[in-house]
Amino acid sequence: MVNTIFNMVLTSEQPLSITLPVAEYTRANKFANSPVMTRGLDAEGAKQETCYIPATTFRGMLRRHVVVPLMEERARNGDHYTLDEAYRDLIGQDAASEQQPDEIDLMALKNMRAQNPIVDLFGLGLGVQSRLKVSHFLPEHNILPEVFTTARKDLGDADDGAILDLVRDEEREKYLKRANANSKRSAAESLLARLVKQKKKDGSSADLDAQIVATESKVEEYRDAMDGMTNSSRTILTHYAMPAGVQWTGRLIITNSTEKDIDALCGALDRFSSYPMIGAQHARGCGEISGIANIETDRRLVKRISFGGFAPAQIDNVA
């Protein structure tokens, strides 16, 4: 069996904002469920934590950059993918692949591997095991996500309110009424939060309950006055992200590899290099990475590839 390993180092050129799903019966972690894992223990046996780039994030990117060009080529030829084919190749899911082990037709799976190189490399559901193994990408030293906050300003906050001189008079009046209602709404919501907290602490009373009902009514009144624009004024936005300027090491392993496998992944990295963004919050400065990979087949260096910078990847043949 011939195995190929991509020994990789990624660099976060900008912060990386990645959020994982919250597992059933658990709570999100204190970093809004950014990827954080235990990595070692200190001298007292306490867990040490670090953030990481999940294998699924990088693997999903590779699969898309292998499959989408094939879909585009077929579309140009008038032979568009069916929905089932898209799920099979992009997601790795189809009805047959979800069968239980005792229901799987091994001969049919063998034929599918031979006929579909995407399924052969990336796998399919429960029945076709992937030959591509992807590790998590870890920093040299443990590090945790950082909080980033931004503010979405309202129209009157910029240019000393000069923008309002450029809208119609009746619309300017509408804005001023909404801004006034928003200030009152914010104050009423703060008062309501204090009253509810007091009720939890001291218990219910006729006077306190009446204050809560009246304040709730005021909050709704001011929200209605804003015509549905409750998020229009000075909204504070918060997200967590892994720091920029950090190197993250990991690897890809292709079992029983072929030249076509290596070419497919190098091609995917080349296409990714032209828009090297992962995760979320791209509009707010997050997501850009770059990377290098030394590609070894049976412990022999065969290629080097560097990618990123919104430019084509550089691929050098060594052997």
Buried/exposed 60-76: b ≥16 CB within 10 Å, e otherwise: bbbbbbbbeeebeeeee
- Residue 115 pLDDT: 83
Give the pLDDT band of residue 40 (cuts 50, 70, 90): very high
**Over residues 77-81, mean pLDDT:** 96
The DSSP line for 185-239 is: HHHHHHHHHHHHHHHHHH---HHHHHHHHHHHHHHHHHHHHTTT-TTSSSEEEEE
Q: What digits encode the pLDDT tens for the residues 42-60? A: 999 999 999 999 999 999 9
Nearest Cα to Cα of residue 254 among 117, 137, 138, 125? 117
**pLDDT at position 232:** 55
Residue ranges per domain, the chain?
4-53+136-145+240-317, 154-233
> What integer pLDDT is reported at residue 230 of this predicted model?
58
Instruction: Using pLDDT thresholds of 50, 70 and 90, give the confidence band for residue 85.
Output: very high
Structural tokens at position 109: 């799976």
Residues 6+ apart with CB under 8 A from 56: 134
Q: What percent of the chain has pLDDT over 90?
A: 66
What is the pLDDT averaged over residues 141-154?
90
pLDDT at residue 108 is higher than 70: no
What pTM, to 2 d.p., does this model score?
A: 0.82
For the stretch 220-276, pLDDT in tens is 888 887 766 655 556 778 999 999 999 999 999 999 999 999 999 999 999 999 999
Distance CA 306, CA 8 (A): 10
Is residue 6's pLDDT more than 80?
A: yes
